[in-house]
């Protein structure tokens, strides 16, 4: 007889501000329903002390809203397991075998260091194309390497997450999924979009946030300053500046806010700089997306 297969242990971090109690309950119960894994679940309240949660969920209340990346990082310290899974408070997992299947993909291909599932609005609303994190979107059920991720449902081996240095805390909101994916690539692994696995999330426009345009621009600049070889920094920022001008030239108020963030990105401290190697740049280029777009 062969050696018994050890049940995978998964640390799960769910981040919330306590403003969506029904969604939060649904998401937590979808995690607790997962089969074939051992779970260690924490709900992090960003500026809120979580209460009224299902049994089996630990809580961590932060006295103030530290932002999405920092809140997730605080949760990581509270859970154990050889895998780490992040779930937003308005997301849920419809299939009880999801985590076991996702871990199976990581085990079958050790080159994958991060996995994002396909995202589907459970009401049947057409999912936005931005949820497929690649330039050539194709069909949503087509799996592929990716160079950014939708952060609402993300699985990594704990060792890979630790090697990346975690989520980009200075960002507060926006583009932390790009940096995490880049840093996974820089560990020698790949970020993977698993089109055959499903997470649920309602369609919500990111522009609902008043700070969307400013942080979108600031964090683009910080992303480059923190992660790219120096010669590529102006190329990346320049390409995205051109893209935003083409997208929003008919919306001067949005562009004004965006360029305010762009200036802040150059003037303010982005935090620790950890530029990727030229080998990573080459690997990403061969895989279809050099880090200049």
| E strand or H helix at 85 | strand 83-88
C-alpha distances (whole Å) from 40 to each of 5, 85, 184 are: 19, 10, 23
Same domain, 159 and 258: no
Range of the domain at 99: 9-204
How many domains, in total, are found in the chain? Answer: 2
Polymer length of the chain: 293
pTM comes to: 0.94
Model pLDDT, residue 1: 46
Task: Please state, in angstroms and rounded to a whole number, the distance separating the CA atoms of residues 26 and 79.
Answer: 20
Q: Which distant-in-sequence residues (6+ apart) come within 8 Å of 231 by Cβ?
A: none
**160 and 102 in a common domain:** yes
**Of 180, 204, 228, which one is at a domain's C-terminal end?**
204
82 DSSP assignment: S
Both 15 and 153 in a single domain? yes
CA distance 286 to 271: 29
Cβ within 8 Å of residue 189, ≥6 positions away: 111, 112, 113, 114, 160
pLDDT of 179-217, one tens digit each? 999 999 999 999 999 999 999 999 876 654 558 889 999
Please, which pLDDT band fits residue 24 given cuts at 50, 70 and 90? very high
Same-domain status, 199 and 242: no
Which domain-ending residue is among 204, 226, 244? 204
pLDDT digits (tens, 9 = 90+) for 80-92: 999 999 999 999 9
| Same domain assignment for residues 152 and 222 | no
Same domain flag for 32 and 166: yes
**Mean pLDDT value of segment 59-67:** 97
Last residue in a domain, options 165, 186, 204: 204
**What's the pLDDT tens digit per position in 132-160?**
998 888 899 999 999 999 999 999 999 99
Crossing angle of helices 233-248/212-227, nearest 10°? 160
| Percent over 90 (pLDDT), the chain | 84
Q: 63 is written with which tokens?
A: 């006295």
User: Is residue 102 in a domain?
Assistant: yes
Are 49 and 101 within one domain?
A: yes
């Amino acid at each position: 007889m062969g050696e018994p297969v050890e049940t995978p242990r998964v640390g799960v971090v769910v981040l919330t501000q306590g403003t969506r109690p029904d969604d939060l309950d649904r998401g937590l119960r979808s995690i607790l329903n997962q089969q074939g894994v051992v779970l260690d679940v924490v709900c992090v309240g960003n500026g809120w002390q979580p209460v009224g949660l299902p049994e089996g969920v630990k809580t961590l209340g932060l006295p103030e809203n530290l932002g999405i990346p920092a809140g997730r990082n605080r949760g990581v310290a509270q859970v154990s397991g050889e895998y780490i899974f992040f779930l937003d408070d308005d997301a849920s997992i419809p299939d009880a075998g999801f985590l076991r299947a996702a871990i199976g993909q990581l085990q079958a291909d050790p080159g994958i260091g991060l996995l994002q599932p396909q995202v589907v609005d459970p009401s049947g609303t057409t999912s936005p194309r931005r949820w497929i994190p690649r330039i050539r979107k194709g069909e949503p059920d087509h799996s592929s390497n990716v160079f950014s991720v939708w952060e609402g449902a993300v699985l990594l081996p704990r060792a890979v997450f630790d090697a990346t240095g975690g989520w980009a805390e200075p960002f507060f909101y926006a583009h932390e999924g790009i940096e995490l994916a880049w840093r996974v690539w820089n560990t020698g692994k790949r970020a993977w979009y698993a089109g055959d696995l499903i997470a649920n999330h309602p369609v919500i426009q990111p522009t609902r946030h008043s700070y969307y345009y400013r942080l979108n621009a600031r964090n683009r600049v910080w992303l480059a300053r923190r992660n790219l070889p120096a010669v590529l920094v102006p190329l990346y920022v320049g390409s995205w500046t051109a893209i935003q001008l083409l997208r929003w030239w008919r919306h001067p108020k949005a562009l004004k806010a965006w360029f305010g963030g762009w200036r802040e990105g150059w003037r303010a401290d982005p935090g620790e700089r950890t530029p990727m190697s030229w080998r990573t740049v080459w690997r990403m280029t061969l895989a279809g997306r050099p880090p200049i777009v």
